[in-house]
């Protein structure tokens, strides 16, 4: 019987995950189907349990349910436990297992596809929401020397950093945009400002000194943050499509025990996105 997976969220119609997993399944010869599951904002658990009880094997979890998925999972990977958020659920005989593959996806895209080694770097993350929560642990583990979390609402960044203080003494700092400091090698936009095309109120000098500006948001055309980085004199800037493909590959591995090749899928997705393929 064909194994069933899906991405659950609200909204979810825009998700590229079904296309990515269809590419992975074809490439690796895995017999699976992968759909979209729109859950009511107050109906996450009911929707997950219905999918599981109908024979579903696993889910990707997207906005706004990652914290709820973390709370609901019976068991969690160490990185999901650290992140306090789950983006991958696998339904085993022992119950639901939750993982968070966002951080691994970002690190792999930066180091493997873009060739930016993270050890010893100073990294500035803009934003302190769920995506940032998922990537702090993996960036620390990748050996960054300094990790600054700057957020529009400074107390949120400070509170988030406090949660992670135990694993990164002296390397982690939370602040507002005005207090982001300078000399950062890598700038990562983890705000949702790009969804409405907003630019961030940060100094151009931050871009001019960085080796890479990375926007977790992605789009068919240049994102607002990538345009801002380019105009600010950044050496290199790109969007988060590569992270999306890499975090999906990590989920695929957790479900199927097979690691797909990501480079051809990234190229196919970029083409599909540009052509407006749903
Ligand atoms: P979230 O939990 O809702 O957090 C949103 C963050 O954006 C908060 O820090 C918020 O600041 C900030 N923000 C919102 N509007 C802003 C604006 N106009 N100016 C400045 N800051 C603003 O969202 P999330 O789950 O962390 O997702 C963040 C982004 O990452 C989204 O664009 C998402 O698509 C992307 N993402 C991409 C991948 C990938 O694989 N490529 C994976 C995960 C997430 P306040 O605290 O001040 O409200």
Question: What are the pLDDT digits (tens) for 167-192?
Answer: 887 899 999 999 999 999 999 999 99
Mean pLDDT of the region 40-54: 98
pLDDT tens by residue, 199-224: 999 999 999 999 999 999 999 999 99
- pLDDT band for position 149 (50/70/90)? very high
Over 70: is that where the pLDDT of 46 sits?
yes
- pLDDT band for position 72 (50/70/90)? very high
Over 80: is that where the pLDDT of 23 sits?
yes
Kindly report whether the peptide bond that precedes residue 198 is cis, defined as omega within 30 degrees of 0: no
Catalytic residues: 66
- pLDDT band for position 1 (50/70/90)? confident
Tell me the three state secondary structure of residue 197.
coil
Q: How far is CA 260 from the centre of its chain?
A: 18
Please work out whether the CB of residue 129 comes within 6 Å of at least one atom of ligand 1: yes
Which atom of ligand 1 is the closest one to the Cα of 198?
18
Show the tokens assigned to 140: 């620390």
Show the tokens assigned to 56: 């579903």
Q: How far apart are CA 224 and CA 202, in angstroms?
A: 13
- The model scores a pTM over 0.85: yes
Please work out whether the CB of residue 151 comes within 6 Å of at least one atom of ligand 1: yes
Give the residue, by CA position, lying nearest to ligand 1 atom 46: 153
What is the predicted pLDDT for the residue at 93? 87
Mean pLDDT of the region 87-116: 96
Show the tokens assigned to 107: 């690190």
Kindly report whether the peptide bond that precedes residue 141 is cis, defined as omega within 30 degrees of 0: no
Q: 198 CA distance to ligand 1 centroid (A)?
A: 12
Give the residue, by CA position, lying nearest to ligand 1 atom 19: 193
Q: How far apart are CA 220 and CA 210, in angstroms?
A: 24
Q: How far is CA 103 from the centre of its chain?
A: 6
pLDDT tens by residue, 151-166: 999 999 999 999 998 8
Return mean pLDDT, the chain: 96
List of E strands, the chain: 3-9, 32-38, 58-61, 75-76, 88-92, 95-99, 122-126, 146-151, 172-176, 186-189, 212-215, 237-238
pLDDT tens by residue, 225-272: 999 999 999 999 999 999 999 999 999 999 999 999 999 999 999 999
Please work out whether the CB of residue 217 comes within 6 Å of at least one atom of ligand 1: yes
Over 70: is that where the pLDDT of 278 sits?
no
Please work out whether the CB of residue 174 comes within 6 Å of at least one atom of ligand 1: no
Q: How far apart are CA 144 and CA 155, in angstroms?
A: 23
Q: Out of 17-26, 91-100, 242-251, pick the least confident.
A: 91-100
Q: 131 CA distance to ligand 1 centroid (A)?
A: 7
Order of strands, edge to edge, in the sheet holding 212-215?
Answer: 172-176, 146-151, 122-126, 186-189, 212-215, 237-238
Mean pLDDT of the region 108-136: 96
Nearest to 273 by CA among 217, 218, 194: 218
Please work out whether the CB of residue 219 comes within 6 Å of at least one atom of ligand 1: no
* Total length of the chain: 278
The angle at the Cα of 183, spanning 169 to 242, to the nearest 5 degrees, equals 80
- pLDDT band for position 9 (50/70/90)? very high
């Amino acid at each position: 019987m064909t194994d069933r997976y899906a991405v659950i969220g609200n909204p979810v119609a825009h998700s590229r995950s079904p296309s990515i997993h269809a590419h992975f399944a074809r490439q690796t010869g895995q017999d699976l189907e992968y759909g979209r599951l729109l859950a009511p904002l107050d109906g996450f658990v009911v929707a997950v349990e219905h999918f599981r009880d109908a024979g579903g094997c696993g889910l990707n979890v997207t906005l706004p349910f990652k914290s709820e998925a973390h709370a609901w999972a019976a068991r969690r990977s160490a990185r999901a436990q650290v992140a306090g958020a789950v983006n991958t659920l696998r339904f085993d005989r022992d119950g639901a297992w939750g993982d968070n593959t966002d951080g691994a996806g970002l690190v792999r895209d930066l180091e493997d596809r873009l060739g930016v080694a993270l050890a010893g770097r100073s990294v500035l993350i803009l934003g302190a929401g769920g995506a940032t929560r998922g990537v702090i642990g993996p960036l620390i583990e990748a050996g960054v020397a300094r990790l600054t979390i700057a957020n529009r609402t400074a107390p949120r960044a400070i509170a988030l950093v406090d949660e992670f203080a135990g694993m990164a003494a002296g390397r982690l700092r939370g602040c507002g945009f005005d207090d982001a400091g300078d000399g950062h090698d890598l700038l990562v936009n983890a705000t949702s400002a790009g969804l409405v095309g907003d630019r961030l109120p940060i100094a151009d000098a931050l871009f001019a000194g960085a080796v890479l500006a990375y926007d977790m948001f992605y789009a068919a055309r240049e994102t607002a943050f990538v345009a801002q980085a380019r105009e600010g004199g950044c050496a290199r800037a790109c969007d988060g499509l590569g992270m999306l493909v890499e975090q999906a590959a990590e989920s695929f591995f957790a479900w199927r025990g097979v690691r797909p090749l990501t480079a051809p899928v990234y190229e196919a997705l970029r083409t599909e996105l540009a052509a407006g393929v749903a």
